[in-house]
Structure formats: C-alpha cells, structure tokens
Chain A
C-alpha cells in the first residue's frame, strides 16, 4: 500500500495575496487528473516559517517536505514527480534568499529550527477545519484526562504549578485568576476568551485561532471545568472573519464529538461555547470594556475592583483569558507543569509568541522560550535587510516601549522588559533600522491611542490629544526645548490618573523614546526639521484623518465620546 500523503497549502492572507488559491486549484486538478487516492489536499494556517513574504508555501506530510514561492505549473510537476512518482522536486524546495541554501524539509529551515513551538504546535501542520487532524495529534486528550481523573482544584493547582501567566499583556498568573473565580460563590459563572487583538501590527492570536482553533476550545473547556462555569464566550474582533468561521466550525465539530454540550464524556460536567463578534474598537480588548461589548453596549471600561472574577458578565464571576494563554492549557495538562515551567525563566514560564515585523528579513511568527534575548529573536528573523543596522526594537504596541540597540541583550521576560520601560505586550515585535525616526514612532502610537481613547476620563481623553499636538510640533520642526518638559509632564499625568489600562499605559512609547532617544527629539528641535526626513512626509497627512478615527458620516471611532475630546488633532 502507498503511504498516504497530505498536501497542506497555506491559506493565510500573505500566501493568498501571492496566489495560494490558484495554486490549491492547480493541485486539485492535477491530483484528480492522475486519480491519486493516497493524496489528500488540505488548506492550512500559516506554516509560520516567517517566510510569508516569499509564499505561497506548501508542506507535504508525512515527511514535511517544504516547497515555497511556487506557481500553478510547479504544482503539476510536484504532483507528477513527488506525489505520484515518489521523487521530491529539488529545484522547487524552499531556498533561502540570503544564503541561497535550500531546505528540503520544514524542520530544516533555520527560522523554524531555532524556535520552540508550543502555542503554535499545530499551526500549519493540520487542516484547522478538521477535528480529526487535531485529535490525531493528541488533541482533546488533555480534556479526557482532566474529566476522568482530576478534580477542579487539581486542575487549578496544576496550572499554578506550571507558572503560566496571561499572554494578553499584563502577565497575571492564570492559576491564581482561576482560583479567584472558583472561590466566588455563584450558581452561574463564565469563561471568556479575549480574541480582540487590537494591537496594530500583531497577529499572533489570529494565527492561533485560524491555524489551531481546537486548542483554544479545549483550553476553554478545561478552564470552565476548573472554575465551575458552564458557558463560555469567545470575543473575536469582527475584522477576523476567517478566524470567526474556523472557530465556529470547531465549536460545531466539538459538539458533534461530545466535547461540548451536556454531560461531557459522561463526566456530568456540561459546557458550551458561543462566539461574540466585536465591531472595531481597540479599547474593547480591555477586559471590563470587553464585558460591556459582549452585552452589546458601548465598550466603556469601568474601574476595578471589583474584578471580573467577582463581578463579570451579567454581574457573574467571569474568567477572561487571552487566546494564547488558553491554547497553552491542554499542553500543560499533557506534558505536566514541570515541563512547561522548565521552558522559561523562574518568573516567566513557558514560551513567548511574537509577530516579528518591520525592518526585518523574515516577517512572521516566532515562538521562543521566555528569557531568550531580544537580539537572538532578531537573529532568528534573519537580521536587518540590506546591510543596515538595527536601531530599536518595539514590543507591546501602544502600551510598550522601544529599546535601543545596546539593550537588546535584554531577555523576553515580563519583569525584565518592564524594568527597562517596555512591556511584553501581547505579541507585536517591531524592528526598526537606522532610517526610522523615533519621534515618528512615538507619534504613531500616540495618535493611535488618541483615536482609540473611549473618551470617558479626562486625562486620557485630553492628554493623548495634547501629546499628539506636542509631538507633531516637534516632528514638523516647530518644537522648543520646553516642549520636552511639557511632554513628560502630560505623559506622567495620563499614566497615573487614567481610568483604565489604555490611558495608564499609552504614555510608555513616549516615555521610553524620551529615555533612550532624547537626542533625536533634541535634533528635531535644534535643526527645525526631522533629521531623517521621515516626519515631514507623515506629519503632513492630516493627523486627525489617519487611522479609522473618522467614520463615514463624520463621526470618529469612539463616537460621541471621542467627539468630546475636542478631537484628536
């Protein structure tokens, strides 16, 4: 008998942009024409080699042969030679654009070899729309183990022991959060997966949802069992229609197999899931705003405490976790808490997932053990193209900071990054080369924060606008030295006086650039222009009209609240 082969054609945005759909059709035609029964053709999530800019990419399992950047005619050759004839087609293997080396197999690609894929364990290796593929790789085994051998308290203890911390940004210990919710006495409790991923330039959560939706579903069921919830919601941003579709399919398939519904696997425990879609508002990633949005209200955060583990959805105790946090849970059950904690640093266990972007050779998903130095991640990404030098690395998006080249020995670790004035964030890592202007970077993030502020509290509503004004003044060469004092003052005020995390963290990009790149600010002021010529062009775009601030109909996102801001400049 011939070994069954599985051809996985990536169907993520970058590969689709480069012709994955036509390629898939070409494979289909040729496989059908030759009547190859032993070959199944599948779509997959991102194979995640970080080679997205060279797609479309195709992996042939079981051996993991890796073809990249191929065209429909190449598909015919591969079907004929490799799938039918058993002779892999060497000249179509992935070739590293820099070293010129070919990598025959998935696992040989440098970018991939140097990673440790835990949250991304299945991404690109299975067809996310087929529950059997997930089960084949051990999926839902953790759930069965939990339901048949563990008490809820045991699960919580296990997650505590693993050292798992929230991947949504704040890094709160997941086991402790679950314990709080378990202790809250209430007949009704909820589990919510935060899949709002509003950070502009991060797509890690999306990749997990699209590439391995069952991992998140399984994690949520286990969370529900641990805290005593019978119902869960996935709050997915509406800009991710494919993720919504895949998760919906996953929920239905899990129901069919008895992993969701009543009396799961005969345990007496019942649990079901529902998707709620967002409608385009960054602040809805903040947990209390998210709860309001799930209930179809304006996404306005409220002061905490009470925390959602006491007063959440409909006033009931609610656990809110990030997509990746939940995707880790089944592996932790499978492989044990000790295994997970041994992967990271004493304070930050496990692995970190980043969407590596910017001036980097290979943009894409990188997953490495916590504690890995930033410089090494850049190295995995192939370094900076065109022989230029790295100037800064920005993590944490609008809540994070840019670290200069001489701090890139810093390990990815919640506390270490925080001490340096940055933050882990929830997955974006932007690499900037010498041509980047740091004032422009600060202005970009502040402009974002300003347009996404919900407008409820004065420091954030007014302060973000003031900071954009000052930054624009400096960027366009009209700044004075006093502006720097004023900027820091406003930044500190917004940081300490705002109601929610958006305001409390949005000063970070400004404060970090003032700390590490003050000379650049001074140069703008001294020379009366942007020394690199970057700001002129960008600041001339009417800042108020960048981003989605302006709705058709003239209302800014954030709507009436945002109007009260006196408008982002």
Chain B
C-alpha cells in the first residue's frame, strides 16, 4: 500500500499516517468496486426524469416519500447522486432525504437482482419453518437477506405476511410467482427455474 503524500515514513518504517492506520483499505476498495453497477447509469437522463417526477408534485417536500417511491421504481434503487438531486429540488438537506431513505425498509441503497426473491416471515410461515427456508436460500445463493448475488441474478428479502398464511411457508419471486408450502428440499428446483 503506497500512500505517499500522506506523511513520511514513521519510525517503525510504516509509510501510513497515524490516523489512517485504522482504515481497512481493502474494504474501502471493495466499496468502490461494488459501485460498478452505477457506471451504466445515464445520469443526465435519470436526473431529467427525477426533475419531472418532482414537478408532478410541485416540488412539495411533503411528497418526499412518494417521490422516492417513484424514483426507486425508475432507477431500481436510490443511489447517492439521486438523493442529492431529490434533496436539491425539494429544498431539503441531503441528510433529511437520507434519513428518510434509511428509515423505511422498502427503500434500497443497492440495486435488486434480476430475480427478486421475497420470503415471508410472518408468524404463520415462521411456525411452519420459514427460518430454515431463509437459511437454505442464503446458503445456496451465498448471500444474506437484503443482499444481491455478485452476478446480479438474485436478491433476497424477507417480508412479514403475504396474506397466504394457509399456504405457508410462502416465497414469491419478482412479485408474481408464488411458491406455496415450499420446503428446504425444493429450494434448488425453485432457483433452477430462474437460472437462465
């Protein structure tokens, strides 16, 4: 790790400034890499659409949640740059927008996978084994709840009660395909259907 310019070599020969020694540079690097998915975004077009959405609400900051819903529908998630734009146009500070985005679980700071799996963990599904089902999905996909696989194929989310309690445990893919009474053994078959 060559960090020239950040203070000369220290006595023990390390070249990193004292205040940077705590930093896990690999992790920081990862963070930047993980934003690959932002490279494809045509920011100008997105920002133009965001402005349109906000105009529909007459720039009313009381409509922030509606605006965020619509923007997320458009982009798939809420990247930082978009939050800044929304804040700017609604006359809010970025921290106000960010505080709302992070409060509500339906707002996402990362894109969803091509196939979005939601597993119910309401009471009825839980007593019928939803936790084991979630664990199996996590294992097979190699991600935890709330994450997206690195190839962008799958993302996994947990919800509370899909209203199909009699059929529990229930999973849903892309908000359309409902898998009822699904058992741990059926998970790989279920995923297979979306593999290609």
Contact = CB atoms under 8 A, between A and B. Distances in A.
Nearest to B148: A552
Contacts of A559: 99, 101-104
A53 B181 CA distance: 10
Contacts of A280: 104-107
Given A16-B178, A546-B145, A552-B108, A200 B166 contact: no
Interface stretch (A150-158, A293-301, A344-352): A293-301
Contact of A363 (B106, B158, B166): B166
Given A16-B178, A428-B123, A430-B124, A296 B100 contact: yes
Interface stretch (A91-99, A172-180, A537-545): A537-545
A377 to B, nearest CB: 15
Given A18-B180, A547-B158, A552 B77 contact: yes
A280 B108 CA distance: 11
B147 interface: yes
A16 B63 CA distance: 33
A279 B65 contact: yes
Contacts of B59: none
A516 interface: no
B127 interface: yes
B92 to A, nearest CB: 9
Interface in B100-122: 100-112, 121-122
B110 A553 contact: yes
Max chain A CB contacts within 10 Å: which of B110, B124, B163, B164?
B163
Interface string A266-297: 00000000001111111000000000010111
Contacts of A480: none
How many chain A residues sit at the interface, stated as a range, is 35 or more
A198 B160 contact: yes
A512 interface: no
B134 interface: yes
B51 interface: no
Contacts of B111: 552
A542 B100 CA distance: 27
A295 B127 CA distance: 37
B110 A293 contact: no
Nearest to B106: A280
B155 A552 contact: yes
Given A239-B159, A394-B123, A541-B135, A550 B165 contact: no
B161 interface: yes
A31 to B, nearest CB: 26
Interface string A448-459: 100000100000
A434 to B, nearest CB: 12
A136 B157 CA distance: 42
B162 interface: yes
Given A53-B167, A201-B124, A553 B68 contact: no
Contact of A552 (B68, B104, B146, B164): B146
B163 A555 contact: no
Contacts of A441: 127
B88 interface: no
B105 A548 contact: yes
A364 interface: yes
Given A277-B69, A547-B121, A14 B159 contact: no
B166 A357 contact: yes
A239 B104 CA distance: 12
Nearest to A356: B165
Given A200-B123, A555-B109, A357 B165 contact: yes
B166 A364 contact: yes
B146 A548 contact: yes
Contact of A238 (B106, B127, B167, B170): B106
Contact of A297 (B100, B122, B159): B100
Interface string A554-566: 1101111100000
A436 B123 CA distance: 12
Nearest to B132: A537
A418 interface: no
B66 interface: yes
Contacts of A430: 123-124, 127
A359 B128 CA distance: 8
Contacts of A558: 103
Q: Which 10 A-B pairs have the closest CB atoms?
A: A553-B109, A363-B166, A559-B102, A201-B123, A279-B104, A557-B105, A200-B160, A53-B166, A357-B124, A552-B110
5 contacts: A200-B161, A201-B123, A298-B103, A537-B132, A552-B109
Given A239-B106, A276-B66, 8 more contacts: A198-B160, A201-B123, A203-B163, A279-B68, A279-B107, A296-B63, A550-B144, A552-B108
